[in-house]
Amino acid sequence: MKYAELAELYHVLESTSKRLVKTRAIAEMLAKAPSLELPCLMLLLQGRIFPAWSEEKIGVAAKLVMKAIALAVGRSPEDIEKDWKKTGDLGVTVQQLMGKKRQSTLFSESLSIEKVFNNIQKLATATGEGSVDRKVKLIAELLTSATPLEAKYIVRSVLEDLRVGVGEAALRDAIVWAFFGKQLHLKLNEEKLQLDFGESSREKYNEIVDIVQHAYDLNTDFAEVAKVAKEEGLEGLKKIGLRVGTPIQVMLFTKAADIKDAFEMVGSPAAIEYKYDGFRVQIHKDHDKVTVYTRRLENVTAQFNELKDIVLKHVKADEAILDAEAVGMDAEHKKYLPFQTVSQRIKRKYDIEKMAEKFPVEINVFDVLQYNGKNLLAEPFGDRRAVLIKIIKPLGGKIVSAQQFVTSDLKQAEKFYKEALGVGIEGVMVKSLTAPYQPGKRVGYGAKVKPTMENLDLVIVGAEWGTGKRAGWFSSFSLACQDEDGNFLPIGKVGTGFNEKEDESEEGVTFDEMTRLLKPLILEEKGREVGVKPKIVIEVSYEEIQKSPSYSSGYALRFPRIVRLRDDKPVSEIASLKDVELLFKQQK
């Protein structure tokens, strides 16, 4: 297939905010894509080359892309940078510059989707001597055969910043429309922009949507889901199962105001568990192989190398998938440590062993999803917990099952909650004993109860260079939540709660660290302000949420303060506008 068709599709996606229009455009493209190209197409549509959980990343900085553009359009990198400062988008910059250059070029080769995919893939694997030059050439090669519109999206794809606003829901629905639309008699009512089912029904449609969603939840790979949908239909999708070694979307929980509220949500009797303040890990044991993923589905096996022995010795199963919270431990004093200390281990590439010694973790297992080849997702939580107790050979400070108490008595439950807070636990999870494990969704099968006003997890979309003693650092950060289509909506700025200097206990976040994290993500610069790729998630506390016309979310935070970096949380899980609205209402 020609890349021109995909570029045209990106253009349509970027020009509308209507989900149905986006879905239809994607579906039409998927329907005509040959099987072999479907996986590449699906990944490119997500602005990816590898599935989310792959260890491989493109990892190309804006500087390198500027060199490639310079080469392709015959200008100096400085010129490109100057223009970039004006547009704030290297994609637009290259599009404009190529537009001018094109007039003198008579014809261009037409690019295929495969060619673009392959060249970008090579960027990820090019390492060692001369790799920078090779990367520049790979990008420039694509740009010289591209039209201005194609160039725009090639550059954005390379930078992993597609900006076309396609969420998981649109991709999922597009797969349904493309491969099951006929069988569903699906039509789009152009005038009303709504779905028309003719002889079929909304129920039937929803059923198929659920099957596609479930397949994705289990393999977290749209490329494979689309291919199976096309080639093997619904039966094939139903066969996509859990695989030890491939991460699945984790179940998410709702919030409850208090224990009573939580009981009403999940039913009684309920299981009440400590809510450990660490970071979530999904542990896959496949005989003598152990793989560890974060909830972002990042592979952190190497960073937590010491877990291998522990899991091999203390999980009595040939195969198992466990859902757990890894909590930093002060081994000497048998105390839990703040999240921040462990989170450093996620990022580490060097001195992994030293870090493991300095910041050991205790694994608190709270669920089991697969045991010796048996998929347990549909089993009631009470039964899954029984399996968990059977297979975990606990060893304090290394691996234990989550503290749990089952009761239907509200008073007893409240007592357990108070005692938990008393020993320094941040809250409790109240869980239904009869519920299945529902991957990827925020369902009411479990609710968290915490005493403090809920903090918000937000993404940084901009920053401002500091002055005076903070010169050389970013000192203020623009925050955004997201709407249902994954658009980022600014909600305020935070500059409080950061440390000036690296402190001894290594807790807290410094301006220096923030600056190091954000510098490679800069997209545009205007005076002291910069716009950055929305990648860094932070947890923010605040006094109050206020209505505000100054920010496009319509809200602003009063006295926001950083609590910590949430490098374990994917950007897709930051607070939604709905969350903000709900909290705004609740505070009244």
CB of 429 to ligand AMP, least distance (A): 4
CB of 82 to ligand AMP, least distance (A): 43
Site string for ligand AMP, 53-82 (x = CB under 6 A): ------------------------------
Stretch that binds ligand AMP, among 217-225, 271-279, 379-387, 495-503 (CB under 6 A): 271-279
CA dist 262 to 160, 233, 252, 366, Å? 40, 40, 15, 18
CB of 556 to ligand AMP, least distance (A): 22
Total length of the chain: 588
Rounded Cα–Cα distance for residues 382 and 436 (Å): 9
Which of 53, 117, 253, 359 binds ligand AMP (CB under 6 A)? It is 253
Q: Does 271 bind ligand AMP (CB under 6 A)?
A: no
Rounded Cα–Cα distance for residues 390 and 409 (Å): 26
Q: Does 521 bind ligand AMP (CB under 6 A)?
A: no
Nearer to ligand AMP, 414 or 525 (CB): 414
Nearer to ligand AMP, 3 or 253 (CB): 253
CB of 388 to ligand AMP, least distance (A): 11
CA dist 200 to 20, 182, 235, 236, 572, Å? 19, 10, 19, 22, 33
Nearer to ligand AMP, 19 or 561 (CB): 561
Q: Which long-range contacts (CB under 8 A, 24 or more apart) does 523-528 make?
A: 523/62, 523/88, 523/89, 523/90, 523/161, 524/84, 524/85, 524/87, 524/88, 524/89, 525/85, 526/85, 526/88, 528/464, 528/465, 528/467
Stretch that binds ligand AMP, among 273-281, 335-343, 494-502, 516-524 (CB under 6 A): 273-281
Question: By C-alpha distance, which of 262, 298, 249, 288 is closest to 447?
Answer: 262
Q: Does 276 bind ligand AMP (CB under 6 A)?
A: yes
Instruction: Tell me the one-letter amino acid at 575.
Output: A
Q: In sequence order, what DSSP letters do the residues of 245-304 get, joined into one string? A: TS--PPPEEEE-SSHHHHHHHH-SSEEEEE---SEEEEEEEETTEEEEEETT--B-TTTT
Any idea what DSSP says for residue 573? G
CA dist 123 to 65, 158, 177, 250, 310, Å? 11, 9, 33, 30, 37
CB of 367 to ligand AMP, least distance (A): 7
Strands 361-371 and 399-401: parallel
CB of 457 to ligand AMP, least distance (A): 8
Which of 280, 314, 348, 535 binds ligand AMP (CB under 6 A)? It is 280
Q: Does 429 bind ligand AMP (CB under 6 A)?
A: yes
Nearer to ligand AMP, 163 or 564 (CB): 564
Q: Does 275 bind ligand AMP (CB under 6 A)?
A: yes
Size of interface with ligand AMP, in residues (CB under 6 A): 11
Strands 529-532 and 399-401: unpaired
Whether 234 contacts 208, CB under 8 Å: yes
Whether 435 contacts 380, CB under 8 Å: yes
CB of 265 to ligand AMP, least distance (A): 14
Which of 392, 402, 430, 489 binds ligand AMP (CB under 6 A)? It is 402
Rounded Cα–Cα distance for residues 192 and 16 (Å): 16
Stretch that binds ligand AMP, among 85-93, 127-135, 274-282, 353-361 (CB under 6 A): 274-282
Which of 3, 304, 366, 416 binds ligand AMP (CB under 6 A)? It is 366
CA dist 333 to 336, 337, 399, 425, 504, Å? 9, 10, 17, 16, 18
Which of 345, 384, 448, 493 binds ligand AMP (CB under 6 A)? It is 448
CB of 274 to ligand AMP, least distance (A): 6
Active site residue 275: yes
Q: Which residue is nearest to ligand AMP (CB)?
A: 280
Any idea what DSSP says for residue 440? T
Site for ligand AMP in 313-342 (CB under 6 A): 325
Q: Does 273 bind ligand AMP (CB under 6 A)?
A: yes
Q: Which one of the listed residues 275, 398, 533, 569 is annotated catalytic?
A: 275
Residues that bind ligand AMP (CB under 6 A): 253, 273-276, 280, 325, 366, 402, 429, 448
Catalytic residues: 275
